[in-house]
């Protein structure tokens, strides 16, 4: 009996162990989303807006911001980034960067996109924004601009972190923007391997790319909290789908689910639709205005330091009536006209004397108008001035004689002298005799229609030479290009242009890509090069076993 009980216990323990070993581990929440890439319309959804861990799908946004910075001229593909100790300490998957190492951005992009290297993604974020926290803030800001409303980033690589989440719908939106906004860089997601500068890296998505017909990207992701994630893009004929799967239990399970979703969705979308490209994001610029702090000075804070108050001004010194001088200060509540009117009417301002008794200042010695100024002074000081005058000129006008009639053609110097009731000073008689006769005046010179563009010096009257306008084409000297052979399809030719541009960024910097549709096929060309640049480019292409010919635009 004891043996039977012992055998039963052993058999029950073995059965329990088998059952426990056979039970799968707790799976991450599952979500899926499939959209028609041409229109952005959904085809299949399951928990599509649930906020889940995106894992390395985060690197899609890291690369999107890197491409944006390159296109805006902030950085270049050959810009060298210094690896920080934080980036070098990231856990696998990683490229193997060392702290203090400098590496070109093109290699970091390849490592992050193909191998899904965490250290490379962190180095990209720190190199662009200065810190990973600032870069994560920019990632979230860009997500909002793209319409990813259920996404928030805390790092550049996708390692599990509280507050770091996204959704299957949002990642599909991001994949669509990568395809349409940066077609020149999109082919990097379809590579099976690439040179990452310090190592040759292999794609984490190569199984799906090799197994599913028409697949050309995009990105895989895995953490324990997220499960096996994948955002994929595939094309069949005129149809293109973008789909995202969250929470796969294994790589094989994830790829199988993705294949089934794409197969069923391809049969449900029309062959021809009107393509609606997504609009590029518009970020709100945030500016900070800094104001200088300046200590106030007593002169600046005192009330109206430049105004004079009449009551506070000292009284003028007493002078004889014949030589009295009046100083008139502008009061805050009295304008100049009122002060002068009261002065001429004998109104007492403080202790000042009447304006009529004041003397005009003496003219500068040698002045030709001394006689005229003396006559005006005498008129102001005369007793015939009105008692009250509205202006300073009134006493002068009241005491002055009527002006002389303009001389006629038959007038002479003698007539003018007789017509004047009082003898004029010598300078005035000479001026009237010499310059005021119409017969002796010179006709004005006709106005010149010449426009003087610039003065060459004081008194320079030489005619301005006609300007010669020389125009040159905008791309002067860059009328050469290179041809990379003939291809049967336009897509193949475009792929060649994009791949060569990525491999030889410095060689084709500033060049324009163009696919010519000829009778022999589609010809990929790099244009807008100088002759020397075109020859150098062909030499490099030939070393890469690429057909290349220098052509003139």
Q: CB of 229 within 8 A of CB of 244?
A: yes
Tokens of 344: 């001429």
- Looking at residue 459, what is its pLDDT? 44
Tens-digit pLDDT profile for residues 313-340? 566 655 544 443 444 344 444 555 555 5
CA dist., res. 347 & res. 490, Å (int):
98
- Looking at residue 167, what is its pLDDT? 97
User: 6 Cβ partners below 8 Å, 6+ apart?
Assistant: none
Is 393 a member of any domain?
Answer: no
Backbone phi and psi for residue 109, each to the nearest 5 degrees, phi listed first:
-65, -45
Does the annotation mark 280 as catalytic?
no
- Looking at residue 314, what is its pLDDT? 64
Across the range 145-155, mean pLDDT stands at: 96
Tokens of 131: 């810190």
Is 444 a member of any domain?
Answer: no
Across the range 346-368, mean pLDDT stands at: 52
CA dist., res. 357 & res. 379, Å (int):
11
Range ranked top by mean pLDDT from 22-26, 176-180, 512-516:
176-180
Q: Quote the domain boundaries for residue 86.
A: 31-266
Per the structure, the count of domains in the chain is 2
Is 65 a member of any domain?
Answer: yes
CA dist., res. 142 & res. 238, Å (int):
30
- Looking at residue 99, what is its pLDDT? 96
CA-based radius of gyration for the chain:
46
Q: Which residue has the higher pLDDT, 360 or 163?
A: 163
Q: Which CATH number does the domain housing residue 531 bear?
A: 3.30.70.1070
Is 520 a member of any domain?
Answer: yes
CA dist., res. 121 & res. 158, Å (int):
9
| Confidence category of residue 57, pLDDT binned at 50, 70, 90 | very high
Tens-digit pLDDT profile for residues 223-272? 999 999 999 999 999 999 999 999 999 999 999 999 999 999 999 999 99
Q: Can you tell me which residue has the tokens 């119409």?
A: 438
State whether residue 480 is helix, strand or coil. Answer: strand
Q: Which of 211, 244, 266 is the last residue of a domain?
A: 266
**H or E, element range at 246:** strand 239-248
Among 56, 84, 259, 483, the active-site one is 56
Is 185 a member of any domain?
Answer: yes
Q: Which CATH number does the domain housing residue 138 bear?
A: 3.40.710.10
Find the length of the chain.
553
CB count within 10 Å of CB 166 equals 30
| Confidence category of residue 543, pLDDT binned at 50, 70, 90 | confident
Tens-digit pLDDT profile for residues 69-128? 999 999 999 999 999 999 999 999 999 999 999 999 999 999 999 999 999 999 999 999
| Confidence category of residue 298, pLDDT binned at 50, 70, 90 | low
Does the annotation mark 193 as catalytic?
no
Q: Which residue has the higher pLDDT, 248 or 422?
A: 248
Sign of the alpha-carbon torsion through 388, 391, 395, 401 = negative
CA dist., res. 239 & res. 233, Å (int):
11
CA dist., res. 192 & res. 504, Å (int):
19
CA dist., res. 272 & res. 114, Å (int):
32
- Using CA atoms in the order 87, 91, 96, 97, what is the torsion angle rounded to 10 degrees? 10
What percentage of the chain reaches a pLDDT higher than 90? Answer: 46
CA dist., res. 230 & res. 221, Å (int):
6
Backbone phi and psi for residue 97, each to the nearest 5 degrees, phi listed first:
-75, 150
Mean pLDDT of the chain: 76
- Using CA atoms in the order 404, 410, 411, 415, what is the torsion angle rounded to 10 degrees? -110
Q: CB of 500 within 8 A of CB of 546?
A: yes
Does the annotation mark 85 as catalytic?
no
Among 84, 94, 115, 116, the active-site one is 116
Q: CB of 33 within 8 A of CB of 244?
A: yes
DSSP 281-326: P-PPP---------PPPHHHHSSSTTPPPGGGSPPPPP--GGG---
Q: CB of 522 within 8 A of CB of 490?
A: yes
Q: Which of 266, 289, 320 is the last residue of a domain?
A: 266
Tens-digit pLDDT profile for residues 383-402? 444 444 444 555 555 555 56
Q: Which of 266, 284, 310 is the last residue of a domain?
A: 266
Tens-digit pLDDT profile for residues 494-537? 888 888 888 887 788 778 888 998 888 899 998 988 888 888 88
Is 528 a member of any domain?
Answer: yes
């Amino acid at each position: 009996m004891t043996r039977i009980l012992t055998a039963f216990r052993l058999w029950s323990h073995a059965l329990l162990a088998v059952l426990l070993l056979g039970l799968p581990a707790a799976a991450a929440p599952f979500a899926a989303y499939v959209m028609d890439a041409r229109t952005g319309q959904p085809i299949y959804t399951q928990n599509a807006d649930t906020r889940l861990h995106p894992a390395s799908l985060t690197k899609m946004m890291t690369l999107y911001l890197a491409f944006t910075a390159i296109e805006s001229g902030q950085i270049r593909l050959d810009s060298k980034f210094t690896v920080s100790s934080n980036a070098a300490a990231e856990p696998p998957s990683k490229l193997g960067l060392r702290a203090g190492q400098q590496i070109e951005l093109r290699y970091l992009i390849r490592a992050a996109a193909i191998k899904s290297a965490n250290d490379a993604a962190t180095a990209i974020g720190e190199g662009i924004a200065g810190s990973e926290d600032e870069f994560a803030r920019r990632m979230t800001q860009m997500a909002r601009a793209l319409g990813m409303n259920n996404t928030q980033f805390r790092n550049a690589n996708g390692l599990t972190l509280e507050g770091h989440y996204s959704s299957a719908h949002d990642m599909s939106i991001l994949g669509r923007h990568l395809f349409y906004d940066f077609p020149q860089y999109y082919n990097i997601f379809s590579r099976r391997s690439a040179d990452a500068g310090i190592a040759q890296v292999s794609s984490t998505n190569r199984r799906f790319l090799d197994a599913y017909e028409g697949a050309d990207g995009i990105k895989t992701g895995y953490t324990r909290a997220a499960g096996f994630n994948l955002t994929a893009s595939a094309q069949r004929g005129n149809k293109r789908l973008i789909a995202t799967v969250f929470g796969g239990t294994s790589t094989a399970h994830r790829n199988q689910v993705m294949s089934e979703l794409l197969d069923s969705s391809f049969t449900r979308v029309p062959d021809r639709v009107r393509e609606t490209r997504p609009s590029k994001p518009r970020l709100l610029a945030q500016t900070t205005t800094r104001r200088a702090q300046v200590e106030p000075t007593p002169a600046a804070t005192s009330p109206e330091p430049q105004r004079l108050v009449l009551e506070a001004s000292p009284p003028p010194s007493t002078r004889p009536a014949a030589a009295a001088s009046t100083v008139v200060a502008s009061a805050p509540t009295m304008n100049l006209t009122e002060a002068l009117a009261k002065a001429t009417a004998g109104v007492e301002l403080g202790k000042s004397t009447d304006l009529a008794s004041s003397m005009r200042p003496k003219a500068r010695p040698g002045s030709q108008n001394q006689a005229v100024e003396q006559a005006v002074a005498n008129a102001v000081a005369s007793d015939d001035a009105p008692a009250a005058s509205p202006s300073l000129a009134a006493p002068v006008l009241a005491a002055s004689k009527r002006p002389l009639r303009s001389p006629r053609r038959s007038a002479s110097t003698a007539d003018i002298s007789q017509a004047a009731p009082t003898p004029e000073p010598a300078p005035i008689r000479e001026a009237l005799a010499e310059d005021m006769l119409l017969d002796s005046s010179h006709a004005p010179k006709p106005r010149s229609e010449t426009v003087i563009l610039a003065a060459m010096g004081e008194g320079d009257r030489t005619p301005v030479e006609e300007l010669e306008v020389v125009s040159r084409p905008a791309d002067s000297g860059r009328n050469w290009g290179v041809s990379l052979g003939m291809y049967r399809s336009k897509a193949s030719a475009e792929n060649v242009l994009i791949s060569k541009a990525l491999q030889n960024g410095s060689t084709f910097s500033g060049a324009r890509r163009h696919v010519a549709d000829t009778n022999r096929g589609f010809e990929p060309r790099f244009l807008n090069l100088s002759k020397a640049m075109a020859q150098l480019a062909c030499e490099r292409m030939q070393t890469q076993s690429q057909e290349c010919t220098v052509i003139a635009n």
